[in-house]
A and B are shown apart, each in its own frame.
Chain A
Amino acid sequence: MRRYDKNGPIALTFNALFLIFILAPLFVVCWVSFTPEGFLSMPTTEFSLRWFVAILDHPEFISAFLFSVYLAFGSATVAVALAVPAALATARYRFPGRGMIMAFFMSPLMIPHVVLGVAFLSYLSSLGWAGTYIGLVACHVILIMPYALRLVLASVTGMDKAAEQAARSLGASRWTTFRRVTIPLIMPGVTGGWVLAFITSFDELTMTLFIASPSSTTLPVRMYQHITENVDPLIASVSAVIIFITMILMFVLDRIFGLDKLLVGK
Chain B
Amino acid sequence: MSFLSLKNVSKQYGDSLAVQDFNLNVEKGEFISLLGPSGCGKTTTLNMIAGFEEPTTGTIEISGKDMTYAAPNTRDIGIVFQSYALFPHMTVAENVGFGLEMRRVGKEERRQRVLETLELVRLTQFADRFPKALSGGQRQRVALARAIVIKPQLLLLDEPLSALDAKIRERMQIELRNIQHEVGVTTILVTHDQAEAMAMSDRIAVMNFGRMARLGAPFEIYEQPGDLFTSNFLGSTNMFDGEVSEQAGDVVMVNCSGVELSVQGNAAKGSKITVGVRPEKIALVEAGLGLIDAKIKTRIFMGTRWAYQLESSLGTLDVTLQNAGHEVAGEGVIVGVTWPRHAIRIFAEG
Contact = CB atoms under 8 A, between A and B. Distances in A.
Interface centre among B51, B71, B85 (most CB of A within 10 A): B85
Interface centre among B71, B77, B82, B87 (most CB of A within 10 A): B87
B81 A168 contact: no
A176 B72 CA distance: 13
Nearest to B150: A170
A170 B146 contact: yes
A150 B40 CA distance: 36
Main secondary structure of the interface of B (DSSP, over half): loop
Interface in B35-64: 50-52
B50 A169 contact: yes
Contacts of A173: 73
A163 B103 contact: no
Interface in A150-187: 160, 162-163, 165-173, 176, 180-181, 184-185
B109 to A, nearest CB: 16
Contacts of B81: 162, 165-166
B73 A168 contact: yes
B60 to A, nearest CB: 15
Contacts of B86: 163, 166
Contact of A170 (B52, B82, B102): B102
Nearest to B96: A170
B72 to A, nearest CB: 4
B83 interface: yes
Contacts of B71: 168
B153 to A, nearest CB: 12
B87 A169 contact: no
Contacts, number: 63
Interface in B76-104: 76-79, 81-83, 85-89, 98-99, 102-103
B75 interface: yes
A173 B72 CA distance: 9
B4 to A, nearest CB: 15
Contacts of B150: 170-171
Contact of B87 (A167, A168, A171, A176): A167
Interface centre among A163, A173, A176 (most CB of B within 10 A): A163
Chain B contact residues (Cβ within 8 angstroms of A): what range? 20 to 34
B98 to A, nearest CB: 5
A58 B50 CA distance: 66
Contacts of A160: 83, 85
A172 B83 CA distance: 19
Contacts of A166: 79, 81, 85-87, 146
Interface in A179-222: 180-181, 184-185
Interface in A209-254: none
B83 to A, nearest CB: 5
B102 A169 contact: no
Interface centre among A169, A181, A185 (most CB of B within 10 A): A169
A187 to B, nearest CB: 8
Given A169-B78, A170-B150, A163 B85 contact: yes
A181 B75 contact: no
A176 B99 CA distance: 12
A165 B50 contact: yes
A172 B102 contact: yes
Nearest to A171: B102
Contacts of B98: 167, 170, 172, 180
B72 A168 contact: yes
18 contacts: A160-B85, A163-B85, A165-B52, A165-B85, A166-B85, A166-B86, A168-B51, A168-B73, A169-B72, A169-B77, A169-B78, A169-B79, A170-B78, A170-B98, A171-B99, A172-B73, A180-B98, A181-B87
Given A171-B73, A184-B89, 10 more contacts: A162-B81, A163-B86, A166-B79, A166-B81, A166-B85, A169-B50, A170-B102, A171-B150, A180-B98, A181-B87
Pairs of residues from A and B, 3 with the lowest C-beta to C-beta distance, nearest first: A171-B102, A162-B85, A170-B99
